[in-house]
Structure 1
Amino acid sequence: MRSSEADILIVPGWLNSGPDHWQTRWEAKLPTARRIVQDDWEKPEFNAWISRIADEVARAERPVVLVAHSLGAVATAHAGALIEDRAPGKVKGAFLVAPAAASAIAGLADVDPAFAVLPERPLAFPALLIASRDDPYAPFEESQRLSEAIGATLVDAGASGHITDESGHGPWPEGLMRFAGFLKTL
């Protein structure tokens, strides 16, 4: 699959992705990409976030590839069942980067604790989960458990921090190459 053949839905995490974040840069670079906008970036509510993801997938005009980061990756993993209920077969793949771990979510008073629970069933579409060995918001072992729970292929990103502009991943060209490779498998 080529990026031009899909609606690429960008799913940011808690507080959204700023202007220098790789998600924002990819959104500007990829013509078929658009951001899923949540009503409240500062106080994420579980049902509202996963419902918004499923609604945006259903609204898409082409096959969908989700590109999610941090809490957005966790929300995407949870939204999988709802997506299949509302738009079966529409999502062709999910590219999940640095998913926030249950331990990190528990430490954020403004984030709905429902995000910290592992999804109950595997995703109905292929997923690639990229995890760092020194992510302050996700111990690698927790990322491994999430990838197993949702049936995602785990990619070890080594010591890459939280994979944001703050960890030196502004445009993240290596990630874009990995994403292009993932698209070719869909």
Structure 2
Amino acid sequence: MSIWLAIPGLGGSGPAHWQSHWSRALPQVRRVVQRDWDAPSRRDWVSTLDAAVRGSHGEVVLIAHSLGCALVAHWARQHTGRVRGALLVAPADVDSAAHTPEVVRGFAPMPLQALPFPSIVVASEDDPYVSMARARQFAEAWGSRFASIGAAGHINADSGLGNWPDGLALLESLRAPTHDEGVVNTL
């Protein structure tokens, strides 16, 4: 059985967030817990993620949200471990002062190298933290499939997704033996 590591962004994912629903409902989900959710340090967060991957038995699937997507991109530049794939949801544009707060600027510049594992970038048309064009640019640079879910805000608790079954379906498609590249407009 693979381990699914839920990687929240700035502030962590509260109890109504889909990552929290998955953590409670699915025994294979483990949350990566950062020391400080509100004043993120790229070095500390990368180290924490690396320890979580190394401490997991078997293959690992990364499930990142917002700043967690930038974290995965930074981590993947130096580490790979046994990562089977990554679901990268609502990547925060850490390079943009217009879209993200100053506290995340330590994660800039956003790495734009291909990821060494299959991945899917999931974006919303009205996400205040990243434009659709920028989310597509991340997907292309990372070699990720791209999935637009329409207007769903930041794809967080405020989006009202609950346990987000469509997100689980995307995750299952990532874990399938074959991984088709390209753009997916779904959900």
Does TM, scored on the shorter chain, surpass 0.5? yes
Amino acid corresponding to residue 96 of structure 2 in structure 1: S
Question: Which of these residues, 58, 66, 72, is aligned with residue 68 of structure 2?
Answer: 72
Structure 1 gaps of 5+ residues are: none
Q: TM-score, normalised by structure 1?
A: 0.89
Matched, 1:167 2:159: yes
1:117 is paired with a residue whose SS is: coil
Q: TM-score, normalised by structure 2?
A: 0.88
Runs (4 or more) in structure 1 with deviation over 6 Å come to none
- Within 5 A, what are the aligned runs for 1:44-123? 44-84=40-80, 87=81, 90-101=82-93, 102-103=95-96, 107-111=100-104, 113-123=105-115
2:103 is paired with a residue whose SS is: coil
**Distance between the aligned counterparts of 1:157 and 1:48, measured in 2?**
32
Q: Describe the shift of the 1:158–1:107 C-alpha distance in structure 2 as closer, same or farther (beyond 3 A).
A: closer
- Quote how far apart the aligned CAs of 1:149 are: 1.8
Deviations 1:25-50 (A, max 9, x none): 00111111110011110001111112
Structure 2 gaps of 5+ residues are: 179-187
Percent sequence identity is 40
- Quote how far apart the aligned CAs of 1:105 are: 8.0
2:138 is paired with a residue whose SS is: helix
Aligned counterpart, 1:146: 138
Aligned counterpart, 1:183: 175
| Conserved 8 A contact 1:14-1:71 | yes
**Distance between the aligned counterparts of 2:91 and 2:77, measured in 1?**
18
| Conserved 8 A contact 2:87-2:171 | yes
Amino acid corresponding to residue 130 of structure 2 in structure 1: A
2:153 is paired with a residue whose SS is: coil
What is the count of residue pairs matched by the alignment? 177
| Conserved 8 A contact 1:63-1:92 | yes
- Quote how far apart the aligned CAs of 1:74 are: 1.4
2:171 is paired with a residue whose SS is: helix
**Distance between the aligned counterparts of 2:98 and 2:41, measured in 1?**
12
